[in-house]
Structure 1
Amino acid sequence: MAFLQANIYSNVLEMEVSMNVILPQKTEKKIGSATKGNSTDVPVMYLLHGMGGNHSVWERRTSIERYVSDLGLAVIMPSTDLGWYTDTTYEMNYWTFISEELPAICQELFPQITTKREKTFAVGLSMGGYGALKLGLTKPENFGAVASLSGAVNLADRIEDLLAVKGRKFWEGIFGPLEKVQGSINDPMFLLDQLAASGKKVPNIFLCCGEEDLLLHGNKKMAEALTAHNIEYTFETGPGNHDWIFWDAWIQRVLEWLPLGK
């Protein structure tokens, strides 16, 4: 594997943005693990961080590089600050960056990465789980599979959970008036309703959450909504809380689930 630390310029955000990238590289090691390499049509996973994290946190808190070493999978880990994968009210358009500009930049810089929907994936934890699901629900033509680990996937119905983390001014700086989040582009439940009504092909969806996690209730509600729309999905729970012990274990389960054989 090749591990790259990149600084790119975002025209959308009008600032430098950091990202870490794992690329398949064929290696033949006498000591350590040999790895597979591809030079064309490489599957890609956009791996999103949560609140308090950045582009480096998946690499530092898990063994993600080792987990993907034999999968022939590129991993893009961008820094998106505390923007909640949203075009904020203070004119920092993190949603436009992550959903439109970043994939274009990555395909320019790393031309071996696939452009095929069925080999492009979005995965994230907590805030990033929200972002990954949002990508799948709003850009189903671009993503073949999305996975949310402990994601805030029902935030519009759980405003009290948001306010327990940060004050109203913080959240309204991101989303605008909290009373208007429900039924907006920032409401995954609303996005699900829209996608189901559109007749478009829905990405494969994976949800997981720890049994001691406060966000478990919201994930169950999302699973119920997917069932109501007759959309196939995977929802799994297990022992654990909202922490890296859970996420390090479950990112391995997500990698097993991803349709990498296609």
Structure 2
Amino acid sequence: MALIQCGFYSDILSLSVSMNVIVPQALAMNAGGTGWENGGRRLPVLYLLHGLSDDHSTWLRRTSIERYAEERGVAVVMPEVHRSFYSDIGKHRQYWTFVSKELPSIAEALFPVATDRSGRFVAGLSMGGYGAFKLALRLPERYASAASLSGALDFAGIGAFMGDEAQEVFGDRPAAGSDNDLFALAERLARGAADKEALPAFYQCCGTEDFLYDDNRRFLDHVRKLGLSLTYEEGPGTHAWDYWDAHIRKVLDWLPLEKANRPI
């Protein structure tokens, strides 16, 4: 197993940023050990997003994601986006553009990870759950599956715990119906889809004692009415790492990894 702690310059953000990348080393190399360029494979990749108070290192420090990824043969890319809610905030804080365009391009150039939709997945917790669903809802042609763990999915809930910071992140633009509104994005996706079976699959979970539980139930009811494919789980749990460590394993088992290995 290879763990790469990667610093690089972002042209979009105009600053140096960090990401951690997990690569199942034995699968990336071919049997003769001659490297990725000769008979290696592009691995299925999970873009794993952090929460509001976390960074690119927190999934590694608080869970056993490295071991889980190795067991399942999936690469994991964990970027840092600060408290951005995966949104564009002014000229030099365009985190949506960074995570949706620049980050995948850099990861695919540096590491043997999937460049096609069938091998590309996204997941996250809390703010990262919001980011994961936002990516799949706005870019369904790029992601086969998306998972939210205790996601901040409803603007009502986001405003409640962010306060004035929500206006700083999302600006004065009306939230309802915008490209930052997951409810509106889900509705647009469902209405514009000729074949809902070809859309990304969604996984959502939340603990029943989580302060975002009601928000998650509202989003679940909305998506079910729209007829989108969503696997939902709930049970005892708070907004805490023991819950997320257990459920990221469920997410990895849910992903269609057997369909995702591709030759380079």
TM over 0.5: yes
In the TM superposition, structure 1's runs of 4+ consecutive aligned residues that sit over 6 Å from their partners are none
Q: 1:143 Cα deviation (Å)?
A: 0.2
Q: Mind listing any 5+ residue stretches in structure 2 that lack a counterpart?
A: 28-35, 260-264
Name the aligned partner's letter for residue 143 of structure 2. Answer: F
Name the aligned partner's letter for residue 250 of structure 1. Answer: H
Counterparts in 2 of 1:1-262, with a 5 A limit? 1-26=1-26, 39-89=40-90, 91-110=92-111, 112-155=112-155, 158=156, 161-168=157-164, 170-177=165-172, 180-199=174-193, 201-262=198-259
Structure 2 counterpart SS, 1:152: coil
Name the aligned partner's letter for residue 251 of structure 1. Answer: I
The question of whether the paired residues in 2 share the 8 Å contact of 1:89 and 1:175 is answered with: no
Equivalent-residue separation in structure 2 for 1:162 and 1:101 (angstroms): 26
Structure 2 counterpart SS, 1:21: strand
Q: 1:173 Cα deviation (Å)?
A: 1.3
Q: 1:72 Cα deviation (Å)?
A: 1.4
Equivalent-residue separation in structure 1 for 2:203 and 2:240 (angstroms): 18
Aligned to 2:262: none
Q: Mind listing any 5+ residue stretches in structure 1 that lack a counterpart?
A: 28-36
Q: 1:22 Cα deviation (Å)?
A: 0.2
Equivalent-residue separation in structure 2 for 1:77 and 1:124 (angstroms): 10
Aligned to 1:30: none
Structure 2 counterpart SS, 1:194: helix
Equivalent-residue separation in structure 2 for 1:167 and 1:194 (angstroms): 28
Percent of matched pairs sharing the same residue: 45
Q: 1:233 Cα deviation (Å)?
A: 1.0
Q: 1:70 Cα deviation (Å)?
A: 2.0
**Structure 1, residues 144-166: CA drift from partner, whole Å, max 9, x if none?**
000000001122xx1xx334423
The question of whether the paired residues in 2 share the 8 Å contact of 1:212 and 1:240 is answered with: yes
The question of whether the paired residues in 1 share the 8 Å contact of 2:121 and 2:144 is answered with: yes
Structure 1 stretch displaced more, 142-151 or 70-79: 70-79
Name the aligned partner's letter for residue 246 of structure 1. Answer: Y
Name the aligned partner's letter for residue 18 of structure 1. Answer: S
The question of whether the paired residues in 2 share the 8 Å contact of 1:147 and 1:205 is answered with: yes
Q: 1:55 Cα deviation (Å)?
A: 0.5
Structure 1 stretch displaced more, 37-46 or 59-68: 37-46
The question of whether the paired residues in 1 share the 8 Å contact of 2:118 and 2:144 is answered with: yes
The question of whether the paired residues in 2 share the 8 Å contact of 1:137 and 1:202 is answered with: no
Name the aligned partner's letter for residue 64 of structure 1. Answer: I
Q: TM-score, normalised by structure 2?
A: 0.89
Structure 1 stretch displaced more, 48-57 or 196-205: 196-205
Structure 1 counterpart SS, 2:168: helix
**Structure 1, residues 170-222: CA drift from partner, whole Å, max 9, x if none?**
211110127x1111011000111111122163201000000101111111111
Which structure has the higher relative contact order (CA within 8 Å, separation 6+)?
A: 2
Equivalent-residue separation in structure 2 for 1:106 and 1:11 (angstroms): 14
Structure 2 counterpart SS, 1:70: helix
- Aligned-residue RMSD, C-alpha: 1.6
Query: How many residues are aligned here?
Result: 246
The question of whether the paired residues in 2 share the 8 Å contact of 1:89 and 1:173 is answered with: no
Structure 2 counterpart SS, 1:247: helix
